[in-house]
Amino acid sequence: MNQSALLRPDWTPATVALMVLGFVVFWPLGLAMLAYIIFGDRLRGFKRDANNATDGFFAGCRRSHGRYRPHFSTGNVAFDDWRKAELDRIEEERRKLDEMREEFDTYMRELRRAKDQEEFDRFMRDRKNSKRNDNGPAAEYQTP
């Protein structure tokens, strides 16, 4: 018998024993087990309903979230036109800043690559020079 069958929300010997043990150890644990026995079969539906409600709420938040809402109107046409022009200008500035940031990131990647290549070349050059100066590692262990 697996664990889920032992602790199903029903009056089984295991659930009754856990309820009694819960009341003996700490009464809220026994009360929680009693609630699970009585209302446990409704928990799955409650969880599903709660998940659907929160999903619907956050989906509504995602739909209304944006940089600005162009369909929102104050009723003053001149103000709405000015606001739209300003938001378009700001959006253009944001686009330019994003392009500049991308160019800078590319520049920094290339700079790091060049520095890494220089360090690697220096390592290889030093390694090659040290092998020429030594007779190799086998020369250290030769006996006279």
| pLDDT tens-digit map of 24-57 | 999 898 898 888 888 877 777 777 888 888 887 8
Question: What is the rounded distance in angstroms from the CA atom of residue 50 to the CA atom of residue 58?
Answer: 12
Question: What is the rounded distance in angstroms from the CA atom of residue 92 to the CA atom of residue 38?
Answer: 61
Question: What is the rounded distance in angstroms from the CA atom of residue 79 to the CA atom of residue 87?
Answer: 12
Yes or no: say if 109 and 117 are a contact pair by the CB < 8 Å rule: no
The pTM of the full predicted model, rounded to 2 decimals, is 0.37
User: Encoding tokens for residue 71?
Assistant: 């369909």
Yes or no: say if 44 and 52 are a contact pair by the CB < 8 Å rule: no
